[in-house]
Chains A and B, each alone.
Chain A
Amino acid sequence: MIFALAEEATPGTVAGFATEYMWAVPLLPFLAAVIIGFFGRKMGGKEHYVGIFAVGAGLVMSLIAFAQLAGGNAAVEASYTWFRLDDSLELEFGMNYDFLTGVMFVVVTTISLLVHIYSTGYMHGDKRYTWFYAALSLFTGSMLFLVIANNLMQMFVGWELVGVCSYFLIGHYWEESPNSSAAIKAFITTRIGDVGFLFGIFVLFVATGTFDIIEINHLAEEGELGGSIATIGALLLFCGAVGKSAQVPLHVWLPDAMAGPTPVSALIHAATMVVAGVYLVARMFILFEHAGAALNVVAIVASITMLIAAALALVQDDIKRVLAYSTVSQLAYMMAALGVGAYTAGVFHLFTHAFFKALLFLGAGSLIHAVHSNNMSDMGGLRKYMPHTFKTFIIGSLALAGIFPLAGFFSKDEIVGEAFRAASEETQITAIIVFASAIITAFLTALYMTRACIKTFFGEYRGHGTPHESPPSMVVPLWILAGASLSVGLLGLPVVGPFADWINVPGETRHGFDTLYNIVLPLASVGIAVAAIWLGWVLFYKERRQVDILSTRFAWVYRLLENKYYLDDIYMGGIVRPVQYPLAAFAYWTNQHILDGIVNGTAHATVGAGQGVYGVIDQQVVDAGVNGAAGLTGFSGGLLRYIQTGNVQRYAAFLFIAIAAFVALFGLT
């Protein structure tokens, strides 16, 4: 493959030696997927080494290239013409390696490598082990292909590839019909958004005549692409982001996607694929900025999403569903940050969230591996049995809740601070909404994570058998991610952290130290989180002991509480429930009945239309054509066979007649 280096490199800087070869990084996992797919069965359970090697090499390259970028080397844009219809339409495969790509590469390869390693323990003995690793590698390659794309068409190709890998992996245990239904649901729901994405690409192509991302952004900045067509284009692109990043109203697929194996949930449905939507908005951010009300729409949708999802996370019993709704809500956080123009903060939250959410999911996987159930009602008291999982899960939960000095604190505070800045200094209505939603969501986040931790690690064990700690292949990735969750936040330290130097929009000025933004707001937000944790502790744990004492005296209360599923919520929720539970239940009901109904209705309509097409077009038109052609051939053949008498003399007679005819025709004229 020949890549022509772009001439746009800033004068005085040169591209680093590794950055020029970053196109090879997506190829490695693709290659690994092909090797595992074709030869994996002969490797006798060693196929994961292929994937681990490919992704590991990708991680090393990503780190070197990122170090070169940070060290002052130029970003690289290069492309290879795939085909050209005429001068007006040219499709390219290209690479665009800058800081945003670099950050995504580090995140994707790191999480993917850890998940590859973790899965050797988690998926051990699975009957589709080979297939699992092939799909995992294929996913990693597709995601990197999407991220490195320099044009929207290539990005769309990668976008669909990650979608189909997600489908494969959600349906990994397809023997049980809910799992395959979940896979189909995820695929169809995201496809609805993808239609918008594709039309957005068309609109932008018609308006600008190019698929090139940098060029479209540049034209938007220059004002040559603007007005309603830019708004329409940006909103259509956002449709794709809504589907992929599970924003309202297309968020319904993500909780169901938890049917897949837990490492897959960690890699695809928490840390990487679902942030593709956020990445798309970030990548096209300059277009969104110059596209009228597009960013406001992003902010409002994200605000609604984060509240609805965080409320839902409070009432789930399945630990993976708690985390899934949490993911939806945190993705909305990133979107909201972009919506109020806080580009750096949004991308930074994407970066930190990937680590601690992957940690939480892998921790949940470790729990599920031990107790063989997804339900928190089958867990409890596990801190005694699984000390490593317990410690790392608590670190992840604190990071998610935004407690100082963990990763979530810095990124979440930056978003809250930026929303507050936009609300107070520019008095944008949307910024005020985002700020309010972000504060409430921060409270709810700390509350539901407290509930999840208490229900899994504290109290008495409620499941069957004796749980045991997971093997080292699973615990080591947990500790690595815990270390990352503890430390990566420091990259985004206000004022001095390097992250804002790497990721910024042109013309964005870096804020200096400010008591309000750097002391008061963080203190307030940590205070809110701590209050939520305290409240959760009281509601879900401390009062529970009171319940046990009271239950002996008031047997009828005890019997009432024995009604399993809402044990905690019915009694302790005496205060919380009137406010929170109906709201959450209503949201859940809407979610399950109305939104799912629409999706299911669409599916039924599609099936009906498919059957109609089969009955009429396929059976009556296409088949009639095929059968007719065959019948005609048979009939004419039947006529011709009458001259095949087997009589040699008659054949010879035909021969002579024919020759005589030809002579008469050509010879005598």
Chain B
Amino acid sequence: MPVSYFLVLSALLFSVGVYGVLARQNAVLVLLSVELMLNATNINLVAFSAFFQEAGVAGQVFALFVIAVAAAEVGIGLAIVILIFRNRQSVDVDEMSLMKW
């Protein structure tokens, strides 16, 4: 199997994530879309690690780091979303424009 299959899959997944981040109105789904983008990069990392064996397992270890950071990120992100919901009874990102001029 050529490496390009994995890269195309990764690109598609990343595009779905981008679409979700930019288009969804529910903050929870925006966070999920971020996870999609992170996983797309994970696919890249693992695929390259498998195809270029001489680099060892560095790519795979890096993927593990990304997963850990993503877990932390989603933890904080959900905490923020819950706080916003408590304050405003809504998680619609279009209404979260506090930093507007």
Question: What is A's interface to B at a CB cutoff of 8 Å?
Answer: 641-642, 644-649, 652-653, 656
Whether A645 pairs with B97 at a CB distance below 8 angstroms is yes
Task: Decide if B61 is an interface residue (CB 8 Å cutoff).
Answer: no
A652 CB, nearest partner CB in chain B, Å: 6
B70-101 Cβ-contact flags toward A at 8 Å (1 or 0): 00000000000000000000000110111111
Nearest to A644 among chain B residues (CB) is: B101
Contact B22 A646 (CB under 8 A): no
Bound Cα distance from A223 to B98, whole angstroms = 86
A559 to B30, CA, bound (A): 112
Known: A646-B98, A649-B21. 18 other contacts (CB 8 A): A641-B101, A642-B101, A644-B100, A644-B101, A646-B96, A646-B100, A646-B101, A647-B94, A647-B96, A648-B93, A648-B96, A649-B22, A649-B23, A649-B30, A649-B93, A649-B94, A653-B22, A656-B22
Q: How far is the CB of B21 from chain A (nearest CB, A)?
A: 6
Q: Sort A-B residue pairs by CB-CB distance and give the 9 closest, nearest first.
A: A646-B100, A646-B97, A646-B99, A641-B101, A644-B101, A647-B97, A653-B22, A649-B22, A652-B21
Compute how far the CA of A94 lies from the CA of B93 in the bound complex, rounded to whole angstroms.
76
6 contacts between A and B (CB under 8 A): A644-B99, A646-B98, A647-B97, A648-B93, A648-B96, A652-B21
Expressed in whole angstroms, the minimum distance between the Cβ of B8 and any Cβ of chain A is 17
Query: B66 within 8 Å of A by Cβ?
Result: no
In the assembled complex, the CB of A337 is this many whole angstroms from the nearest CB of chain B, namely 82
B18 at the interface (CB under 8 A from A): yes
> How many chain-B residues does the 8 Å CB contact rule pick out?
13
B interface vs A, CB < 8 Å?
18, 21-23, 30, 93-94, 96-101
Cα distance A656–B37 in the bound complex, in angstroms: 13
Q: Which residues of A contact B22 (CB under 8 A)?
A: 649, 652-653, 656
What's the Cα separation between A42 and B21 when bound, in Å? 68
Report the bound CA distance from A656 to B98 in whole Å. 22
A645 to B101, CA, bound (A): 7
Closest to A653 in B: B22
A642 contact set on B, CB distance < 8 A = 101
**Nearest CB to that of B23 among chain A residues?**
A649
Q: Within 8 Å CB of A647, what residues of B? A: 93-94, 96-97, 100
Residues of A within 8 A of B98 (CB): 646
- The answer for the CA separation of A653 and B93 in the assembled complex, in Å, is 14
Q: Shortest CB–CB separation between residue B80 and chain A, in angstroms? A: 11
Q: Whole-angstrom distance from the CB of A661 to the nearest CB of chain B?
A: 15
Residues of A within 8 A of B100 (CB): 644-647
- Interchain CA distance A645-B18 in the complex, whole Å: 20
- Of all chain B residues, which has the CB nearest A651? B99
